[in-house]
Amino acid sequence: MARYQYLCRECGPWIVVLPMGTAEAARRCPACGGRSKRQWTAPSLNLMDRRLGRLRRREEAGRDVPEVTTAVPPAARRRPATDPRHVTLPRP
């Protein structure tokens, strides 16, 4: 899905989400029903979630030069037990 922006002379710019490549040159304004022309805008790349963007960049970088693990990753830090009885419980 892609976001397309249209400009209504009465209401101003408005956005519609449509499948990519299906946007028409003009649509009816959802507010007033007037004719709205499509506007060409920059892709909305800044709307992507930061974590998703980081993962996608990492995936793209790994296509040509895969990441190689050269060392054992550090062990996860275990939180200290708040209840002293937890210390006596068996560990996996």
Provide the binding-site residues for Zn ion, judged by CB under 5 A: 8, 10-11, 29, 31-32, 34
> Six-digit token pair at 23?
């946007």
Residue 13 vs 62, nearer CB to Zn ion = 13
Q: In whole angstroms, how close is the CB of 12 to Zn ion at the nearest point?
A: 8
CB 21, min distance to Zn ion, A: 25
Distance in Å from the first CA to the final CA of the chain: 46
Distant-in-sequence, close-in-space partners of 18: CB < 8 Å, separation ≥ 6: 1, 2, 4
* Cα 14 from Cα 34, distance rounded (Å): 12
Nearer residue to Zn ion within complex by CB, 34 or 53: 34
Backbone angles phi, psi at 61, to 5 degrees: -65, -30
Query: Nearer to Zn ion by C-beta: 10 or 62?
Result: 10
Q: How far is the CB of 29 from Zn ion (least distance, A)?
A: 3
